[in-house]
Every structure is written in structure tokens, then in C-alpha cells.
Structure 1
Amino acid sequence: MIDMLVRLYDLPPSAGLYEKVESQGITLRRARAFELHTVREFVGEHFSPKWVSEVEVAMSRQPITCYLATRDKQVLGFVCYDTTSRGFFGPTGVADAARGTGVGKALLFKALEGIRELGHAYAIIGGVGPREFYEKACGAIEIPGSDPGTYTDLLP
């Protein structure tokens, strides 16, 4: 899977996106250290053990590099950055029940803005799955020769 590059200095405005999500009763916010067990459980139940490991890294950073989408004290989605490598976006995931609400795109922008706040001009989306989504959402472009990128010799 390819890696993609995002120009952080050229991101489209995100306020309308956040308002749309929040109008559905969904809160977007940075995770808190004492919520690690809850976030780990959500990611383990809905996604991958490897992603649980990345969540643990994100939750150990200062500031924490994990954002959540929640409603009624339930996690609907998450995003991490600066876990596999510095300046890297991901992993990210949204529960099936929350897909189509705009949560995935809103979390993408929370993370990209977080990477920008750390002083980066560019972010890397590693091992991209939904390429078209990232092209449309944030203008991401393929990094030539990036497959397999940093994701080689993966342990089970």
C-alpha cells in the first residue's frame, strides 16, 4: 500500500465540518490519559491489535496525539498521529454505526491540524487504504516508490 503526502499549509477550512458533526450530538476532542483502557478496548474490538499498540504510543505522548469522536459517553471513532513515525497520520477508524456522519473526515482534520501545530509543513498518510477519500478530503498525493514504505518485515 502506498504512502501519501498532505500539504498542511494548504488545508481547506474545517470549521463547517466540525459544526456538522457536532450538530449531530458528536463531540470531537483530544483523548485523556485516564481513558487509555476505554480507547484500547474500542480499537481492539473494532479494528486491529497493531492499532491498539499505536494507540498506546499516541496516549503516551505529551500532548496526547489521539483524538476521539464520542456521543453519549461512547467512543464512535478515533485518530492518532506521530505513532509509527513522526509526522505520520494514523491509524484512524470509525465504528460502523457512525459511518456516514462525517466523523472520519472530521477526525482526519483534527489529526492533520495537530501535526501542523507541531511545526510540520507536510504530513504522511502511511499505508493508505481509501486513496480516493484522502485525495478528495485533503488533497493528498501519492509518494512515488512508497510501497511498502516503512511497513516492512511486520511481526504478527
Structure 2
Amino acid sequence: MTGPDSIRPVPVDARVEELAAAALWADSDDAPLLARRLATPPPGRRWTALAAPGLDGVVLASTAPGGIGHIDLIAVRPDARGRGVGRALVGAAEEWLRGEGATEARFAGNPPCYAWPGIDVRYTPAVCLAESLGYERYRIAWNMTADTGARPGEDAADFRRLAAAGVTLHAASPGERAAVAAFAREHWNDAWAWEAQQATGCHYAARDGRIIGFAAWGSRPYWFGPMGTAEEARGLGVGRVLLRRCLADLAAAGRRSAQIGWVGPVRFYARAVGARIERVFWLYRRPLG
């Protein structure tokens, strides 16, 4: 059996990325990118990567304001399961979080830099581990899946309507990301601003020289979001068009479908692009004594 005392800090390198790909079967294509993303969080975030002997497993953990600690990613090599590796990794992560002043640990995403909203219910061993350690399930989140195929008829009608309303559409160049981030910060929060700047792709709508909406993808590798439209511009169909422009980017990147992460407005996405609820996540927490 592996004990918490045998767990040691490690760099997030190619070996850790390979382990994540081997263990996280539902995310095997993106797992190396997830590990890399978690290792480059926003400035000021405290985080760590801890590994079991022989790199049989790894856990990434981070802190958030308010004394909250997050288990961001845990991966145990398939041939090492059943030996207490996962339990030892969580124990070591909890000890590190206590040392950072956390009073609560969560299996939940730590926005704006996260791998998943919580534990994907298909990762049954992770669910069993969390519950066996006394974690309480306190929330459910979900992703929607959208096909990235073109919708030329619908897009043309929307473009004409926006043009008639004086709205222009733009792909945000690197030099424009700061302006989009400032818009996201003004209307929503710092987390969305960071995601807009980090995203692989970002589009925005403007009217009278002012940004009125934006949409981004790839801040969390290959997922869509965040997206928002200023209150005074809602009802014009800005969000629907920006969403489709991002999906077209993802199609060009070779993706036949896209995950819309941590969805709130289910009806909007279902109507705008025929998105469907697909991935379900359970969020867990427990106090750290």
C-alpha cells in the first residue's frame, strides 16, 4: 500500500502528461493539455503537483480565496489501482492545502483555470474515492455538446440582421485581447477576463466603436466559453452568431464536436446550435480539520 508520506512534489512534464493520458480515458486526447493548463494558472494562484513512487499516480491541487482548496486533477495508472495510491495522493494534497491555509477541500473546478467542473460521473473510481473519504456531494454541473458543422442559411440571415442593426463582427487579434478582457471584466468578472486573454480563439461584436459581446474557446483546452453580451445589446442574436463563429474555428482545428463547459443557459444552446447535455459532473467538498 502507498502512504501519504511517500508522495513527493514533481514538475508537470512529459511523464506527468503521459500518465494523465493513460489514466483519464474519457479525456485521453486532451489530458496532456489539461495538465499543462493547470500548471500555468493565473498569477498569484498557489498550486502543486504531487506524485506517488514510480509515478504510479499524480494529483494537482490549488487554492482559492476564502480558505477553499481544490483537488484539480487526480490520475492513477491503471495497473496501479487498488493499492491505495489515490487515497494517498488525496491525503497528501489535503495536507498541502492545510499548509496553505485552506479549511475546506473540494473536488470541483477552480475557475478560471480548471480541468472539469467536478468529477465526471463516468470516472467511477474517483467518485468512489471521494465518497469513501467523506466528501459530500453538494452540486451537479453539466456540459453540452454541439456539432461544429456549418449552418450557412441560418448564419446568413443572422449576419444581415446584425448588419442592419449596425453591429460588426470581428476575430480578436492579439492586440485586441486586452480590450475584450476589459469588456469581460467590466460586465462580468476577472475570471472571464483572464479566460478571454488565454483563449485559443476569441470573437467579438461591436457597435458604434464599442464592444457589445464576446465569445471565446480554448482557455480550457478545446472547450467553448466563456461568452457574454452586454445587457443593452441582448435580443439581437449577437451571442448565437459569436458562438457559431467559435464552432467554425473548432471545425477548422479538426474538431467535429465541441464541449460547451459548465453550462447555465441550457435552452439557449439547445436552440442556437442544437446542443445536447452530455457530460455530467458531481462536485464534492469536505472540511479540513
What's the TM-score bracket when you normalise by the shorter of the two chains? 0.7 to 0.9
The alignment status of 1:129 with 2:269, answered yes or no, reads no
Name the CA distance, whole Å, in 2 between partners of 1:90 and 1:122: 14
Question: CA offsets, 1:75-117, max 9 Å, x none?
Answer: 000000111122x111000000100111111111111111111
The one-letter amino acid paired with 2:281 is D
Q: Return the index of the structure with the highest Cα Rg.
A: 2
State the TM-score, normalizing by the size of structure 2.
Answer: 0.47
**Amino acid of the structure 2 residue aligned with 1:29:** H
* TM-score when normalising by structure 1: 0.84
Among 90, 96, 100, the alignment partner of 2:231 is 96
Q: Show the counterpart of 2:149.
A: 9
Unaligned runs of 5+ in 1: none
Does structure 2 conserve the Cα–Cα contact (< 8 Å) formed by 1:127 and 1:148?
no
**2-side partners of 1:4 and 1:12: how far apart?**
22
1: CA distance between counterparts of 2:177 and 2:271? 32
Native 8 Å contact 1:7 1:123 kept in 2: yes
Hey, what's the Cα distance between the residues in 2 that align with 1:148 and 1:131?
Answer: 18
Aligned length: 144
Residue 12 of structure 1: how far off its partner (Å): 6.5
TM-superposition CA deviations, 1:15-63 (whole Å, max 9, x none): 21122112111001101222222112111010121111111112xx4xx
The match for 1:75 among 190, 211, 230 is 211
Q: Which has the higher strand share?
A: 2
Point out where structure 2 has 5 or more consecutive residues left out of the alignment: 1-140
Identity over the aligned pairs, expressed in percent?
A: 33
Structure 2 counterpart SS, 1:9? coil
Q: Which amino acid aligns with 2:211?
A: V
- Compared CA separation, residues 23 and 53, structure 1 to 2 (3 A): same
Match status 1:147 vs 2:274: no
3-state DSSP class of the match of 2:242? helix
